[in-house]
């Protein structure tokens, strides 16, 4: 797919032999995890079983999935030649996410509202509809994700956090932004992006966790999807690079003749354990944010309690599972000592093998922009960009801690390049 494997970045010391599964799936040398899960039969009636019974079946079938995935990774086995069983593990994930929607516990807020009825709203302010603001070949993600032809990014609206500085504030704070999309339209968007050469399908927002039901259903449709003209009309309406010409290449988007693409979960990671169990079976690579340290900054700047223990707990979960992921940390003005330093120290102590992007792209936005109509003076401390000294200090901490950060962090800034000298 456009030579992702040929990028210089994979030869760097901090990324050599990293994210090998993601790279194999992107090149269609391996089937994506949703393809594997689709070959694991389940033995309950999805429509009739209790939710408790469905979770028990998921727990029972997850080891079966993990065994087949391991055998495929090691070249011992391949996808079964027989047709996919019905129901299968992907069908079970879809049914569970729909059940969860009736007492929403997708994220740590655990609001328990019935979003199907839509008579009462939780933190995300959403009913059952999912909205997409835009989707496109994203040229601005890390090089390992954008490659040469872009990351296939689908931007959802609304969020379960309230970051005062959100640089996507137009879509995260406005639940009515974008267009309502069906699961089939979402699947068509993913299909189009991959057929046009994107290296992955990048589910992002706003925040994606609150759209779990729509995303899981879309993924469940992908293997058999053959979009018709109506599907394409529905999907292309919000494609922000619609007028850019991309040649469709079905051979570069399939494995054993069916749709194939690595699924990328680009999230704030403020998720419930139940959501994590479902996503474990469907996501090939993860991109969590770790924004704040263990103090009160998450509450003061994002109105989000339980932040540190929830996000770090979920990151420890995927690390323990052996999942592939990279971490993002955004350096904020006046928050190097209270946030950046403890975040980097925690990574060094807990998962020093994981690549980290120490990001210097912060700019005051949303409620922190002094020239904006929404500016709130109580956020004055972060109403400027970080200084070169602050960025340099953040990079020095990462370097002293011997983190795998240089290739992801230095690519787009001059401060890091100076430190290389």
The 3-class secondary structure across the chain, one letter per residue, is: CCCHHHCHHHHCCCCCCCCHHHHHHHCCCCCCHHHHHCCCECCCCCCCCCHHHHHHHHHHHHHHHHHHHHHHHCCCCCCCCCCCCCCEHHHHHHHHHHHHHCCCCCECCCCCCCCCCCCCCCCCCCCCCEEEEEEEEECCCCHHHHCCCCEEEEEECCCCCCCCCCCCHHHHCCCCCCEEECHHHHHHHHHHHHHCCCCCEEEECCCCHHHHHHHHHHHHHHCCCCCCHHHHHHHHCCECCCCCCCCCCHHHHEECCEECCCEEEEECCCECHHHHHHHCCCCCEEEEECCCCCCCHHHHHHCCCCHHHHHHHHHHHHHHHCCCECEEEECCCCCHHHHHHHHHHHHHHHCCCCCEEEECCCCCCCCCCCCCCCCCHHHHHHCCCCCHHHHHHHHHHHHHCCCCCHHHHHCCCHHHHHHHC
Point out which residues pair with 202 in neighbouring strands.
153, 264
pLDDT in tens, 287-311: 999 999 999 999 999 999 999 999 9
Please identify every stretch of the chain with a pLDDT value under 70, giving residue numbers as ranges: 1-2, 412-421
Closest CA to 64 of 281, 279, 383: 281
Cβ proximity of 269 and 289 under 8 Å: yes
Closest CA to 94 of 13, 23, 187: 187
Q: Give the Å distances, CA to CA, from 223 to 9, 83, 201, 275.
A: 31, 12, 14, 22
- The whole-angstrom separation of Cα 27 and Cα 385 is 38
At 3 the pLDDT is 78
- The whole-angstrom separation of Cα 241 and Cα 126 is 27
Point out which residues pair with 152 in neighbouring strands.
137, 201
Return left, alpha or beta for 119; rule: phi > 0 is left, psi -120 to 50 is alpha, else beta.
Answer: alpha
Closest CA to 365 of 170, 216, 179: 170
Cβ proximity of 69 and 61 under 8 Å: no
State which fold the 4-31+127-325 domain adopts.
TIM Barrel (3.20.20)
At 413 the pLDDT is 63
């Amino acid at each position: 797919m456009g030579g992702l494997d040929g990028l210089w970045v994979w030869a760097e010391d901090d990324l050599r032999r990293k994210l090998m599964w993601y790279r194999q799936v992107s090149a269609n040398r391996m089937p994506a995890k949703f393809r594997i899960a689709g070959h694991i039969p389940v033995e309950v009636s999805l429509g009739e079983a209790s939710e408790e019974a469905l979770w028990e079946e998921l727990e029972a079938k997850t080891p079966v999935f993990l065994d087949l995935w391991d055998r495929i990774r090691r070249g011992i086995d391949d996808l079964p030649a027989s047709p996919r069983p019905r129901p299968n593990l992907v069908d079970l994930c879809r049914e569970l996410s729909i059940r969860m929607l009736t007492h929403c516990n997708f994220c740590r807020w655990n609001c328990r509202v019935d979003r199907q009825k839509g008579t009462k709203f939780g933190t995300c302010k959403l009913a059952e509809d999912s909205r997409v603001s835009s989707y496109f070949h994203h040229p601005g993600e890390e090089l390992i994700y954008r490659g040469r032809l872009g990351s296939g990014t689908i931007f959802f609206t609304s969020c379960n956090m309230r970051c005062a500085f959100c640089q996507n504030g137009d879509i995260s704070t406005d639940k009515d932004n974008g267009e309502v999309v069906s699961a089939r339209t979402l699947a068509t968007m993913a299909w189009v992006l991959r057929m046009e050469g994107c290296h992955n399908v990048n589910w992002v927002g706003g925040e994606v966790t609150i759209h779990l039901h729509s995303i899981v259903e879309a993924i469940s449709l992908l293997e058999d999807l053959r979009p018709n003209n109506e599907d394409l009309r529905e999907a292309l309406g919000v494609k922000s690079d619609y007028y850019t010409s991309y040649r469709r290449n079905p051979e570069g988007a399939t494995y054993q003749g069916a749709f194939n693409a690595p699924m990328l979960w680009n999230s704030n990671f403020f998720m419930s354990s139940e959501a994590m169990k479902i996503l474990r079976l469907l996501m090939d690579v993860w991109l969590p944010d770790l924004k704040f340290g263990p103090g009160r900054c998450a509450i003061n700047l994002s109105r989000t309690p339980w932040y540190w223990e929830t996000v770090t707990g979920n990151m420890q979960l995927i690390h323990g599972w052996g999942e592939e992921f990279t971490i993002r940390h955004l350096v904020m003005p006046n928050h190097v000592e209270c946030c950046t330093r403890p975040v980097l120290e925690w990574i060094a102590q807990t998962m020093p093998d994981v690549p980290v992007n120490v990001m210097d792209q912060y700019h005051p936005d949303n409620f922190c922009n002094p020239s904006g109509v929404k500016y709130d003076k109580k956020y004055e401390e972060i109403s400027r960009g970080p200084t070169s000294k602050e960025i340099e200090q953040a990079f020095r901490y990462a370097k002293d801690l011997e983190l795998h950060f240089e290739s992801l962090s230095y690519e787009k800034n001059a401060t890091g390049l100076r430190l290389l000298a």
